Amino acid sequence: MAGNSIGQVFRVTTFGESHGIALGCIVDGVPPGIPLTEADIQHDLDRRRPGTSRYTTQRREPDQVKILSGVFEGVTTGTSIGLLIENTDQRSQDYGAIKDLFRPGHADYTYEQKYGLRDYRGGGRSSARETAMRVAAGAIAKKYLQMKHGIVVRGYLAQIGDVACELKDWNIVEENPFFCPDASKLEALDELMRGLKKEGDSIGAKVTVLAENVPPGLGEPVFDRLDADLAHALMSINAVKGVEIGDGFAVINQRGSQHRDEIRANGFQSNHAGGILGGISSGQTISANLAMKPTSSITVPGNTITRDGEEVEMITKGRHDPCVGIRAVPIAEAMMAIVLMDHLLRQRAQNGDVNSSVPRW
C-alpha cells in the first residue's frame, strides 16, 4: 500500500505537491475535547516557513492553515480533522528546465522509475514543501502531549559541517535563525553560511530532538518499539540519512559496565539509553539525533543525464537553502510528537491507564 499515512491510532495522512494547488492532511484519532485553533498550528508552521531568514530559501508563502473539520465550538470532536494550506507562490515557470533531466542527488530519477512519470514542478511530491503538513499535524500532537501529560518536545541544531553546538541555553534557540542553542557558535555558523552562498554549495547538519516528561510504558514490542517507530518517522523526513537514540553510534566503543544506566531509589543514574529500554520508554528524557545530508540544489555544476539517457551538465537555479538542516528542527519535533502521541493512545488501548505498583520517577 502507498505510504502517505503515519501512525495507527493518531493517524496522519497527507497530500500535496510543491507547486500544486494546495497541501493538506487528515488527522484521525484525535481525542475529543481538546481546545484547538488555527493559531495553535500556525505557530509551528511559521517556525518552519521558508523565507524567514536570509539563510533559507526565499520562497515566500504565508503557509496559512485552515481547519476544515473535526473542531466544533473550539474543541476537537473526535472526528477526522481536515487541514489545508493553499499554495500561493507557485511560479511553475522556474522549473521547466528540469523537466527532462534527472537532477543528481534528487528524487527525479527514482520517482520516474517508480511511477513511470513525475510531476517535475519543484520536485512535486518529493519536495520538502510536503513537510509543512507534518508540522501542522505535529502541532496538534504537541498540544495534546503538553496539555494532558506535560510532555515537552523540542529540538535544536546540534551541528553544521564542523561547527558543533552544545545545548547551553534553550532560550536562545528560537531567537536565532539556526535554532542553535549555543550563542558562542552563531558567528561561526553565519560565516559558514556566507561562504557556502558564495561558493553556491551546501552542507549537512545534525539535529537533536528531546522529549521530556514522557511516561514510562510507551512502545510496542517487538517490532513497533518506540525507538523503531521514532527511527521510521525521523528517517522519513527529507534528507535524513541517519538516526540515533541516546548514545547512538558511540555505543560501538562502549563497555556494558559503562553503557547500562544504573538505578537507585531516586531513579536512573545516567541516560545512555536515551529514555528507551527494550523498545519501551523508561520515563527518562527521550533523545534522538538526525543526520541531514547537504541539499543537492546547488549552483556548482554537476553531471547527469536526460530522460533519453543523454549526458548533460546542470546547475540548480532558484531559491534554495544552503543547509536544509536549519529548517528541520520543527519538522523533527513534529515527527517525534506524532510518534509519542500515537504510542500514548496505543498504550492506552491495550493496557489502559497504567496503574502498577512499580516505583515511578
Give Cβ neighbours of residue 335 (< 8 Å, ≥ 6 apart): 134, 138, 230, 233, 234, 236, 237
248 binds its own copies (CB under 8 A): yes
Applying CB under 8 A, among 56, 57, 90, 126 the residue interacting with its own copies is: 126
Provide the 8-state DSSP code for 293.
Answer: P
93 binds its own copies (CB under 8 A): no
Residue in this structure with the C-alpha cell 481538546, named with its chain if needed: 34
Nearer to its own copies (CB atom), residue 175 or residue 300: 300
| Shortest CB 24 distance to its own copies, Å | 5
Give Cβ neighbours of residue 66 (< 8 Å, ≥ 6 apart): 38, 83, 84, 85
Listed residue (218, 45, 60) closest to 142, CA to CA: 45
* Contact stretch for its own copies (CB under 8 A) within 26-34, 51-59, 175-183, 186-194: 26-34
* Contact stretch for its own copies (CB under 8 A) within 37-45, 46-54, 167-175, 263-271: 263-271
Cell of 71: 473542531
| Shortest CB 356 distance to its own copies, Å | 4
CA separation for the pair 336, 153 (Å, rounded)? 7
92 belongs to an annotated ligand binding site: no
96 belongs to an annotated ligand binding site: no
Helix (H) or strand (E) holding 143: helix 131-149
CA separation for the pair 249, 178 (Å, rounded)? 25
At residue 347, what are phi and psi to the nearest 5 degrees? -60, -45
Decide: helix, strand or coil at residue 313.
strand
Using CB under 8 A as the binding rule, the residues of this chain from 166 to 195 that contact its own copies are: none
* Contact stretch for its own copies (CB under 8 A) within 47-55, 109-117, 135-143, 178-186: 109-117
| Shortest CB 281 distance to its own copies, Å | 7
Applying CB under 8 A, among 51, 82, 177, 318 the residue interacting with its own copies is: 82
Give me the 38-77 binding string for its own copies, x by CB under 8 A, dash otherwise.
Answer: ----------------------------xxxxx-x--x-x
Listed residue (276, 327, 299) closest to 132, CA to CA: 327
| Shortest CB 46 distance to its own copies, Å | 22
Applying CB under 8 A, among 93, 171, 198, 359 the residue interacting with its own copies is: 359
**Bridging pattern class, strands 276-277 and 65-67:** unpaired
C-beta of residue 88 within 8 angstroms of C-beta of residue 66: no
Using CB under 8 A as the binding rule, the residues of this chain from 140 to 169 that contact its own copies are: 159-162
Nearer to its own copies (CB atom), residue 175 or residue 246: 246
CA separation for the pair 120, 98 (Å, rounded)? 7
Using CB under 8 A as the binding rule, the residues of this chain from 198 to 217 that contact its own copies are: 201-206, 216-217
Using CB under 8 A as the binding rule, the residues of this chain from 271 to 290 that contact its own copies are: 272-274, 276-283, 289
129 binds its own copies (CB under 8 A): no
Number of residues that bind its own copies (CB under 8 A): 167
* Contact stretch for its own copies (CB under 8 A) within 29-37, 135-143, 167-175, 184-192: 29-37
Applying CB under 8 A, among 109, 177, 188, 190 the residue interacting with its own copies is: 109
CA separation for the pair 19, 127 (Å, rounded)? 9
134 belongs to an annotated ligand binding site: no
18 belongs to an annotated ligand binding site: no
282 belongs to an annotated ligand binding site: no
127 belongs to an annotated ligand binding site: yes
CA separation for the pair 75, 80 (Å, rounded)? 13
Give Cβ neighbours of residue 354 (< 8 Å, ≥ 6 apart): 215, 216, 217, 347
Residue in this structure with the C-alpha cell 514522557, named with its chain if needed: 214
| Shortest CB 93 distance to its own copies, Å | 15
303 belongs to an annotated ligand binding site: no
CA separation for the pair 340, 219 (Å, rounded)? 9
**CA dihedral of 24, 28, 33, 35, whole degrees rounded to 10:** -20
* Annotated binding-site ranges: 48, 54, 125-127, 238-239, 278, 293-297, 319
